[in-house]
Amino acid sequence: MIAQRLLGELASLLVGGEIEVLDLTAVLGPKTPVVKLPPDLAVSTPKVEIHTISTYDKNGPWWAWNWLKLGEHSGTHFDAPIHWISGKEHADGATDTIPVSRFVGPVNVIDCSKEATADHDFLLTVDHIKAWEKMNGEISRGDWVLMRTDWYKRNGSEAEFLNSDESGPHSPGPTAEAIQYLIDKGICGWGSETISTDAGQGGGMEPPYPAHTLIHKANKYGLACLCNLDRLPARGAILIVAPLKIQNGTGSPIRAMALTARQ
Ligand SMILES: O=C(O)C(=O)c1ccccc1S
Ligand SMILES: [Mn+2]
């Protein structure tokens, strides 16, 4: 009965506009930055391509449509547990087997924007998270945790977004200990605004790419290239992040959104 009543109230608050639906997603197209891996290590994902089939013309008199060429890990996207070797055994770890209940849930936003602006290789530590919890309350089982860095503001330029030099990409992320602390809290998943759930220098950390390695080993989920986290409260919003139901998919572009009380 309570659930039914609350759903009714949610519906009227949504229609009335007291609850705002925030878009946390970057535009997806040929300019979308994609992760560039060291060529001696791996093959990288292709850039996004949009190909016209028809535009109300001889190829389709009354309709317009396109076909797309894009990697699963393009733009604002969802990382499934089987994406990483540490998560490959999870029977419910692919985009078509993850329970849909995981795609909607409470979200906490840890603001690291000042630190990330001052140090592009900033790493979120357990102490940072504990200080956040002291201010905002304990992170609970089933929560999503997102790292706000305002990095999405670089999305207009792939070079700026990837921020690479001779020593590789430089962008903020979590330490392995911070990720393990959150996993031990029972979080649902971890998200970031940068090209990856890991720091740019994550490949040289222990374990390599600690967010991917530990999150997916624990059958948890990742989100990358999120936008507008500066418009979310530290806690209290509801996140909606549903991947395409790709057969045995390792991830998927998503339309990330959040429900939040209109300010
Ligand atoms: O999961 C991703 O989209 C991603 O960033 C990634 C993919 C493959 C290899 C390394 C990385 S770091
Ligand atoms: Mn990914």
Segment 165-217, tens digit of pLDDT: 999 999 999 999 999 999 999 999 999 999 999 999 999 999 999 999 999 99
Catalytic residue among 83, 90, 128, 212: 83
Q: What is the dihedral of CA 24, 98, 221, 40, to 10 degrees?
A: -100
Q: In what order do the strands lie in the sheet with 251-253?
A: 19-23, 257-261, 235-240, 104-111, 144-148, 189-192, 221-224, 77-79, 251-253
79 lines ligand 1 (CB under 6 A): yes
Best probe residue, ligand 1, of 35, 77, 85 (max atoms within 8 Å of C-beta)? 35
ipTM: 0.96
Amino acid at residue number 37: L
Across the strands, what pairs with 123? 173
Give the tens place of pLDDT for each residue, 206-260: 999 999 999 999 999 999 999 999 999 999 999 999 999 999 999 999 999 999 9
Note the pTM of the prediction, 2 decimals.
Answer: 0.98
154 lines ligand 1 (CB under 6 A): no
Please say whether the beta carbons of 112 and 174 come within 8 A.
no
List Cα–Cα distances, 50 to 28, 66, 70, 75, 170, in angstroms. 10, 6, 9, 14, 29
Q: What is the 3-state secondary structure (H, E, C) of 34-59?
A: CCCCCCCCCCCCCCCEEEEEEEEECC
Give the tens place of pLDDT for each residue, 61-93: 999 999 999 999 999 999 999 999 999 999 999
pLDDT score of 187: 98
81 by DSSP, 3-state: which? helix
Give the tens place of pLDDT for each residue, 4-23: 999 999 999 999 999 999 99
Q: Which ligand is nearest to the CA of 199?
A: 1
Has 216 been annotated as catalytic?
no
Best probe residue, ligand 1, of 41, 195, 196 (max atoms within 8 Å of C-beta)? 196
Please say whether the beta carbons of 187 and 174 come within 8 A.
no
Residue with tokens 């393009």: 74
198 lines ligand 1 (CB under 6 A): yes
What CA–CA distance (Å, rounded) separates 72 from 178? Answer: 26
Closest ligand 1 atom to 195 CA: 5
Give the length of the chain: 263
Q: Which ligand is nearest to the CA of 196?
A: 1
Task: Give the closest residue (by CA) to ligand 1 atom 4.
Answer: 196
